[in-house]
């Protein structure tokens, strides 16, 4: 759906009134992407939102992403247009369960994917994104790592650090696990034999083995820009193809049609406008949780991309 000039003007007026910015993840509806001041993956949104000269952040993404923005920008008001836009994988690990795991492995360090809630991050030593996970694991001196919550990302990391023991929590991304399948990619490859297959590291090992390349969403964008290939089968949430088509319009990006994150799609244009009008629903986190969760996040940010 194309955003009308009148709607764009109204949004701009509201942003100026409240000194607000709209940030959005790559998996958001195309019309949400079109109105965003900042687009990106988890690491980009976590780091760049801190630098924005704004009093208010309208965060278009799932819950843990908005929490991360609040933790790293505590002086800014963070508005999450739909509080029920939540990450199922982040919900697969709780602080209580993580404490039990730590008690079983007292000699292990805890590395948590940024796709976790703030209270889990508060029990974590260092966070990572899909783009810097290997670099983070390589950076820690400990040989034993509890990795939460994505088992597929944990198994992918293990390929690059054979000298370390990674104890994976049994979580997963429902979209990458259940929709980006080997069968779906093979079918698309038969239709487009000249296309490269690029998948996200949240995919299953058999999908990763089939792919030509494995990248975070930021890595996908950088590869698409530099590759001599002109057609790509994208093994990730389908709206990533819209983002890529906007940034690299001369190339073709083929989605897995079933790869839809319904939770990302809970944020709509009407909800974003309502949030700009009322500056609600505001995301509130306990000060002690923010202080504890900020430590592993800052360690992640300081390590940077892989």
The percent of residues in the chain predicted with pLDDT above 90, rounded, is 92
Q: How many residues does the chain have?
A: 306
SS (H, E, C) 75-123: CCEEECCCCCCCCCCHHHCCHHHHHHHHHHCCCCEEEEECCCCHHHHCC
pLDDT of 21 higher than 70? yes
The mean pLDDT value for 296-300 works out to: 94
26, 45, 38, 218: CA torsion to nearest 10: -50
Nearest of 194, 154, 192 to residue 172 by alpha carbon = 154
Plot region of 197 (φ>0 → left; ψ -120 to 50 → alpha; else → beta): beta
The percent of residues in the chain predicted with pLDDT above 70, rounded, is 99
Continuous segment of H or E residues that includes residue 56: strand 56-60
Q: pLDDT tens, 172-204?
A: 999 999 999 999 999 999 999 999 999 999 999
Q: pLDDT tens, 201-250?
A: 999 999 999 999 999 999 999 999 999 999 999 999 999 999 999 999 99
Q: What is the pLDDT of residue 50?
A: 83
Show the domains of the chain with their CATH numbers: 5-86+264-285 (3.40.50.10800), 90-172+288-303 (3.40.50.10800), 180-255 (3.40.50.10800)
Q: Is the peptide bond prior to 149 cis by the omega test (within 30 degrees of 0)?
A: yes
């Amino acid at each position: 759906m194309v955003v009308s000039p009148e709607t764009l003007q109204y949004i701009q007026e509201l942003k100026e009134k409240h000194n607000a910015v709209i940030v959005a993840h790559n998996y958001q509806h195309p019309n949400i992407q079109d109105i965003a001041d900042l687009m990106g993956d988890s690491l980009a949104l976590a780091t760049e939102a801190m630098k924005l000269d704004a009093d208010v952040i309208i965060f278009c993404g799932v819950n843990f992403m908005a929490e991360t923005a609040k933790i790293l920008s505590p002086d800014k008001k963070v508005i999450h247009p739909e509080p029920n836009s939540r990450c199922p994988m982040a919900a697969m690990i709780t602080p209580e369960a993580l404490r039990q795991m730590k008690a079983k492995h007292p000699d292990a360090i805890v590395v948590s994917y940024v796709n976790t809630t703030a209270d889990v991050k508060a029990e974590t030593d260092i966070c990572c994104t899909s783009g810097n996970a290997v670099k983070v694991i390589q950076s820690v001196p400990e040989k034993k790592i509890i990795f939460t919550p994505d088992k597929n990302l944990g198994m992918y990391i293990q390929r690059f650090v054979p000298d370390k023991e990674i104890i994976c929590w049994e979580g997963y991304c429902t979209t990458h696990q259940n929709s980006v399948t080997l069968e779906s990619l093979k079918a698309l490859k038969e239709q487009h034999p000249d296309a490269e297959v690029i998948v996200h590291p949240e995919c299953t090992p058999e999908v990763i083995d089939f792919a030509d390349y494995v990248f975070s969403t930021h890595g996908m964008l950088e590869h698409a820009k530099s590759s001599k290939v002109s057609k790509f089968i994208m093994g990730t949430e389908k709206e990533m193809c819209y983002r890529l088509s906007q940034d690299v319009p001369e190339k073709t990006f083929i989605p897995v049609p079933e790869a839809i994150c319904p939770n990302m799609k809970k944020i709509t244009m009407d909800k974003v406008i309502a949030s700009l009008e009322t500056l609600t629903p505001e995301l509130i986190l306990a000060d002690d949780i923010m202080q504890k969760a900020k430590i592993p996040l800052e360690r992640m940010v300081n390590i940077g991309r892989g």
